[in-house]
């Protein structure tokens, strides 16, 4: 029989994992190609992983869990320089391929932040999207050559900027002109530190904001200006302008200068999906190694993955990983089309991009955070240890709920977009603003629908149910909003803003339902296109699990108006349990297909070779506290106190 | 008008908080007395807080967020010694009052662990519950005098024991006797380090397990024995015994030696409720200071607490805090009665205590963790900073989902208990095993019930609904379990264990529903007993919010069998939104009533005086990275690399 899991190594790996890998009924190579967008890219990833593995100067000197924050910053500064040297002079990667640079960076730096992170992800895209040609040709090469380190400063203390490493920054500040007053937020380009001494320039106070939940190798900073003058031409002038005479010229579209935030949100979705993929890999491998309790008496302790509760914790996270991964691919494609349009003056996709990226950003980041915690807790006490990598993963990933737009604010942005569509529907306007994402809101629901959630044809039924719920929540919220604004029945009429606030929780529910509908539709479409039969089978099981799990999650809304009944719910629950059973033997092979190397997972529990227990002990023994049998300060405090107490008790 | 909030200080406090405090329509003094179990205890708390505040040798030298792990351990070792000195020789607290010692300890040590934590919470209770009199008189005084530091070692790497500080430990190990073979786990008393040198004794390998998610000032340890002999009389012999002839004598009740785990679980509930109370205090105060966006145009930016979405995030957590706090009080009382019974040979309450403490431990720890994260995210970017105290609070509290019995295992313990009751019900047995906690399962449901969730009489209806759902899930699970065991319809009969595993997810749902029912009933009963009218009013609002929020949470189960309909759901949702409005003006006064001092909250955002922004900047400036304007290693890495790049580009 052909070896379907390409990761089998029976000589060096834990036999419990090898046993799992032998069960694969699909080719992990084929699934890996699907995940990583083709064979050629997958090969490049493997080469990069090998390259980093074989160059010790690209490795951290010890796990960051053992480092102080100063050591973490020094470590990434040192590695940044080494990494650039490998890119510039030693051909480590193909510099024309941003995804390769990104992967190389992740392998070397980890996910805890680094001094060039905002330089590449925020500063460069912002300049590219907002500078006119003259500005771009003057500034961009310096950033690309890393002659300077740039960052992005938008809000108050706690966001964005790098307080210790950067010497230039994009500052988003309110523009005021003598002629015409305030014009809202605009981006400017400002030097903050001296190129020679690296000291802050006069009038500038800048520093590190202190330790955070995660991302502690980044020096996120605070920044204050006191009488700092910025030349007119340091306003980024691709869209809005101020002429030499001081006249303000508006941009063509109000949201056009937010495109770099949309860019970050669009790549965030894939990033978040990968965090969840990491967590699933760790927890699923560990669950096949860890044994506890018997199911059949006398048959010995079972792998904890054989418990239904464990499968119910882990496999829905795995299904969501793929749902989010595919959503990430969609939104990046949409971003590319939108920007292509914007380049030719066509801003028609901006609304969709803005609303969809906001909804996904909110839903995906939150569910990824919950999912990682489920994976962590599924590893028991070992999941609480930094050796598992999971506490760190959570603390980094959960930041995504807050940065790039707080999640509640994001959902209300989606709701605003939905209320506009609802208004068009109620006024019988043509659906000219409908897109593939919002079309379903405009279509009339068939009264003769057949609902059947039987496992082999649940896809259409589930999608239909999500659409029904989303439409109902959207239109109901719209009606209530209008009713509150009209007043009557003893209630005073409310302003739009007041009514909006009274309905805000309901509005966020509509936004979530709409986002779920998109994720489900896109997941169905992507699986439908898969050619490889084995891969398609296993992905269909994951898709079914996703759909039925989401049906359980939103069942109250569907039961409430009689769309489904208790028999449907029995079917849905059985589908979920059935999917768990189907996925069980494939689980390790599915996570193997992500091809995360151990360096990337950074987890003793998630090691590809499954040699967990000996390495847990080794990791613990490397902990700084175990350098000596007796802690250096023992005698000074506790030792002396115990001796005094013994002395006293003898008297 | 009488000043209802005793915390008003208009000269020194942020006027936004003073404005909130003036709105109180209940006496914070009265609520504080309710929370802290009477005026006298409250006064003692205040004195202890003042005492700690005024003795600088009881303070940490800097926030632990700025310390390495070695520094954290040294800090708590030093403070332990100082604290004991204050207790033994300076009358800091009344040593006969364990709750005072606990509070004193929390104020001095914080919640990150300390070397005497397991000594007091695990080792002493285990010895007291499991030693015979001779053993107790020999060992206990040494622990009470702190001549030794003891710990508790039960499972594998990652649990319980202290690897660097302790020199004695309770070891739970499998007992084997020559005569009669294996007898399961029993507790033993073992010395692990030399009293003089503190070196590990021969055959013993012991060390720190390395950094964890939270509780990083504890040196949780690993421990290995290699040919270590333990004398027979070092087995704890209150219950099971081995005679000098080697004969094994059984205990009277199998669970009797688990009482110290039940003790920890019972005090954990209150501890977890307090974590959530901390988080609510921080987030609610901050939400009254932080302003963002307008609701009424031109009226200026509003306090973010005025957004419905923010209230919906925070106030249910506040309601749960009280629900859990009261549940904690119940379980501690039940523990006391049970142990009194066990003392006289009456073990009838053990089953209830075991099952209820397991259910609460699981539900409370999980919802507290979710609640803290909601509080943290509600603080936006500042909630992600360690300055908020919230990341640390979460990472410590969430450990409670794992230690003292993993939550899924705990829920399945509850389910086991429920299935026994279901069997009695189905066989028409007398309800002799029913207690006030399980009685409702045995009672027939009235067909002529009137459901009305209208806000003023929702208490009975809500409780009835929870009972209905819990009964249905329990009895359905029981029927399915039996059906799986019978087999038929083409399915093979399953063993009890296999059937149990196939139903495990449904069983955990029944266990959750049962636990919710208990929490709700107890909350209703406790509020009913409140005498003070003002306090009763505000607690009734919190209770209504709790009940209606839980109804929303479990509405799918209630809609599914037609117990409620969509009109009921409209009422329930309106109740929730109505409660949010009612609680809004009281929110700051409610959290003020916990009387957490700033030292305890350990949060710049949650400061009682509301002076957040100036102190955030001050905190950041104290961060180790801000000691110098330019980091010491800047020139060596990034500085040099940028200069090289500039050099190169000039060529």
Of A373, A623, A646, the CB nearest to B147: A646
* Rounded-to-integer distance, Cα B244 and Cα B453, Å: 66
Q: Using CB atoms within 10 A of its CB, is residue A261 exposed (0-12), middle (13-18) or buried (19+)?
A: buried
* More confident site: B298 or A554: A554
Residue B315, pLDDT score: 98
How many Cβ pairs closer than 8 A exist between chain A and B? 348
Question: How many CB atoms neighbour CB A489 within 10 A?
Answer: 6
Is residue A423 within 8 Å of residue A478, measured between CB atoms? Answer: yes
| Among B73, B164, B308, beta carbon nearest to A502 | B308
A641–B81 C-beta distance less than 8 A: yes
Q: Which of B68, B163, B198 shows the shortest C-beta gap to A634?
A: B198
In terms of Cβ atoms closer than 10 Å to its own Cβ (0-12, 13-18, 19+), residue B415 is: buried
What's the helix, strand, coil split of chain A in %, to 5? 60, 10, 30
Buried b (16+ CB within 10 A) or exposed e, B124-157: bbbbbbbbeeebeeebeebbeebbbbbbbbbeeb
Closest CA to B637 of A80, A109, A52: A80
Label the pairing between strands A181-191 and B181-191.
unpaired
**Residue B559 host element (H or E):** helix B555-560
Q: Is the pLDDT of residue B158 over 50?
A: no
Cβ <8 Å between A412 and B309: yes
- Residue A385: which of B147, B209, B637 has the nearest Cβ? B209
Q: Does B344 count as an annotated binding residue?
A: no
Catalytic pick among A373, A404, A550, A595? A404
pLDDT digit string (tens) for B245-295? Answer: 999 999 877 666 677 788 888 899 999 999 999 999 999 999 999 998 888
Bridge partners (DSSP) listed for residue B225: B204
**Cβ-nearest to A209 among B80, B210, B385:** B385
Q: Can you tell me the distance from the alpha carbon of B200 to that of B190, in angstroms, rounded to the nearest whole number?
A: 12
Q: Taking CB atoms and an 8 Å limit, are B401 and A222 in contact across chains?
A: no
Nearest by CB to residue A296, choosing from B222, B309, B497, is B497
Q: What's the per-residue H, E or C state across A544-590?
A: HHHHHHHHHHCHHHHHHCCCCCHHHHHHHHHHHHHHHHHHHHHHHHH
The pLDDT of residue B584 is above 60? yes
How many angstroms separate the CA atoms of A75 and A562, rounded? 59
Q: Give every CB contact of residue A119 below 8 A, 6+ residues apart in sequence.
A: A143, A146, A149, A150, A151, A166
CA distances from B349 to B437, B499, B521 (A): 11, 29, 19
Contacts of B200 in chain A (CB under 8 A): 629
A86 Cβ contact partners less than 8 Å away, ≥ 6 residues apart: A51, A55, A58, A92
Share of residues in chain B with pLDDT > 90 (%): 81
Is the Cβ pair A308, B504 closer than 8 Å?
yes
Least confident of A34-48, A450-464, B192-206, B362-376: A450-464
In angstroms, rounded to a whole number, what is the distance separating the alpha carbons of residues A288 and B358?
26
- Residue B2 pLDDT > 80: no
| Shortest CA distance from A79: residue in chain B | B637
Helix (H/G/I), strand (E/B), else coil: B535: helix
3-state secondary structure of B149: coil
Cβ neighbours of B342 (radius 10 Å): 21
What pLDDT is stored for residue B450 in this prediction?
66
Instruction: Provide the β-strand partners of residue B407.
Output: none
- Range scoring the smallest mean pLDDT among A210-214, A644-648, B206-210, B448-452: B448-452
Look at residue B155 in the predicted model and tell me its pLDDT.
67
Neighboring chain B residues of A66 at a CB cutoff of 8 Å: 210-211
Distance CA B282, CA B607 (A): 7
Report pLDDT for B492. 94
Going edge to edge, which strands form the sheet with B181-191?
A: B150-153, B168-177, B181-191
What is the complex's ipTM, to 2 decimals? 0.96
To the nearest whole angstrom, how far is the Cα of B214 from the nearest Cα of chain A? 8
Q: Which of the residues A559, A622, A632 would you substitute to probe the B interface, choosing the one with the greatest number of B C-beta atoms within 10 Å?
A: A559
Separation between Cα atoms, residue B57 and residue B92, nearest integer Å: 13
Chain B hits for A638, Cβ within 8 Å: 77, 80-81, 115, 149, 165
Say yes or no to pLDDT of B433 above 90: no
B630 contact residues in A (CB cutoff 8 A)? 164, 197-199
Looking at residue A636, its pLDDT comes to 96
The distance of B645 to chain A (nearest Cα, Å) reads 5
Residue B1 has pLDDT above 70, yes or no: no
Nearest-neighbour CA in chain A from B245: distance (Å): 31
Distance of residue A74 Cα from the nearest chain B Cα, in angstroms:
7
Mean pLDDT by 10 residues, chain A (651 residues): 84 96 97 97 97 97 94 96 93 89 94 92 91 96 95 68 92 91 93 96 95 93 92 95 94 74 88 98 98 86 96 98 97 92 85 93 98 98 96 97 93 97 88 81 75 84 96 97 93 95 98 98 98 97 98 97 94 96 98 97 98 94 94 96 92 75
Give the Cβ contact number of residue A43 at 10 Å.
12
| Cα–Cα distance for residue pair B163/B157, rounded to 1 Å | 11
Q: Which residues of chain B neighbour A633 with C-beta distances below 8 Å?
A: 73-74, 77-78
Instruction: Phi first, then psi: give them for residue A200, nearest 5 degrees.
Output: -60, 140
DSSP A295-342: SSTTS-PPBGGGSHHHHHHHHHHHHHHHHHHHHHHHHHHHHHHHHHHH
Q: Does B434 score more than 90 pLDDT?
A: no
Phi and psi at residue A593, to the nearest 5°: -65, -20
Partners of A174 in beta bridges: A185
Q: How far is A448 from chain B (nearest CA, A)?
A: 22
Inter-chain contact B312–A163, Cβ cutoff 8 Å? Answer: no
A404 is catalytic: yes
Catalytic residues of B: 404
Q: Which of A196, A209, A386 to mutate to test the interface with B (most CBs of B within 10 A)?
A: A209
Interface mutation vs chain B, best among A64, A307, A308, A370, most B CBs within 10 Å: A308
Q: How close, in Å, is residue B27 to chain A by CA atoms?
A: 29
Q: How far apart are CA A46 and CA A600, in angstroms?
A: 12
Contacts of residue B312 in chain A, CB cutoff 8 Å? 504-505
């Amino acid at each position: 029989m052909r070896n379907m899991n390409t990761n089998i190594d029976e000589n060096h790996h834990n036999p419990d994992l090898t046993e799992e890998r032998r069960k694969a009924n699909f080719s992990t190579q084929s699934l890996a190609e699907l995940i990583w967008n083709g064979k050629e890219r997958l090969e490049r990833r493997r080469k990069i992983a090998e390259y980093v593995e074989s160059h010790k100067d690209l490795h951290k000197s010890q796990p960051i869990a053992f480092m102080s924050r100063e050591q973490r910053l020094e470590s990434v500064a040192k590695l940044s320089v080494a990494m650039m040297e490998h890119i510039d002079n030693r051909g480590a990667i193909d510099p024309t391929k941003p995804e390769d640079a990104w992967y190389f960076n992740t392998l070397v730096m980890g996910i805890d932040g680094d001094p060039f992170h905002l330089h590449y992800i925020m500063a460069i895209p912002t300049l590219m999207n907002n500078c006119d040609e003259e500005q771009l040709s003057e500034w961009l090469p310096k950033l690309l050559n890393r002659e300077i380190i740039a960052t992005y400063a938008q809000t108050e203390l706690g966001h964005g900027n790098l307080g210790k490493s950067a010497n230039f920054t994009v500052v988003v500040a309110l523009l005021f002109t003598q002629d015409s007053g305030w014009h809202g937020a605009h981006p400017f380009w400002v030097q903050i530190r001296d190129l020679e001494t690296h000291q802050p320039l006069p009038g500038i106070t800048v520093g590190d904001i202190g330790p955070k939940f995660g991302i502690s190798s980044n020096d996120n900073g605070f920044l204050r200006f006191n009488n700092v003058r910025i030349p007119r031409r340091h306003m980024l002038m691709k869209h809005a302008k101020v002429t030499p005479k001081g006249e303000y010229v508006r941009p063509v579209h109000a949201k056009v200068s937010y495109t770099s935030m949309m860019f970050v949100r669009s790549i965030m979705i894939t990033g978040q999906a990968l965090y969840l993929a990491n967590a699933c890999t760790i927890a699923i491998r560990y669950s096949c190694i860890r044994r506890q309790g018997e199911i059949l008496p006398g048959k010995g302790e079972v792998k904890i993955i054989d418990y239904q509760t464990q499968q119910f914790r882990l496999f829905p996270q795995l299904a969501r990983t793929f749902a989010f991964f595919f959503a990430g691919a969609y939104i990046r494609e949409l971003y590319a089309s939108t920007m292509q349009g914007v380049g030719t003056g066509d801003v028609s996709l901006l609304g969709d991009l803005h609303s969809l990226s906001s909804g996904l950003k909110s839903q995906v980041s939150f569910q990824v955070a919950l999912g990682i915690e489920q994976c962590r807790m599924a590893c028991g006490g070992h999941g609480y240890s930094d050796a598992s990598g999971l506490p760190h993963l959570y603390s980094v990933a959960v930041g995504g709920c807050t940065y790039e737009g707080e999640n509640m604010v994001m959902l209300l942005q989606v709701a605003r977009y939905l209320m506009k569509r609802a208004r068009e529907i109620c006024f019988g306007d043509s659906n000219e603003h409908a897109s593939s994402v919002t079309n379903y809101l405009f279509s009339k629901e068939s009264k003769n629908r057949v609902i059947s959630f039987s496992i082999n044809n649940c896809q259409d039924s589930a999608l239909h149910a999500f659409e029904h719920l989303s439409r109902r929540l959207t239109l109901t919220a719209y009606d209530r909003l209008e009713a509150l604004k009209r007043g009557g029945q003893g209630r005073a009429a409310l302003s739009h803003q007041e009514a909006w606030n009274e309905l805000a929780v309901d509005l966020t529910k509509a936004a979530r339902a709409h986002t779920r509908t998109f994720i489900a539709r896109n997941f169905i479409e992507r699986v439908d296109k898969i050619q490889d039969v084995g891969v398609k089978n296993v992905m269909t099981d994951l898709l079914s699990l996703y759909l039925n799990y989401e049906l359980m999650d939103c069942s109250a809304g569907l039961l409430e108006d009689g769309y489904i009944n208790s028999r449907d719910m029995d079917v849905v629950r059985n589908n979920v349990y059935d999917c768990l059973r189907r996925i069980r033997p494939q689980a390790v092979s599915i996570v193997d297909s992500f091809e995360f190397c151990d360096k990337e997972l950074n987890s003793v529990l998630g090691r590809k070779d499954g040699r967990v227990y000996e390495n847990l002990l080794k990791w613990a023994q490397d902990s700084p506290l175990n350098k000596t049998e007796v802690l250096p300060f023992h005698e000074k405090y506790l030792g002396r106190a115990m001796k005094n107490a013994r002395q006293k008790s003898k008297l």
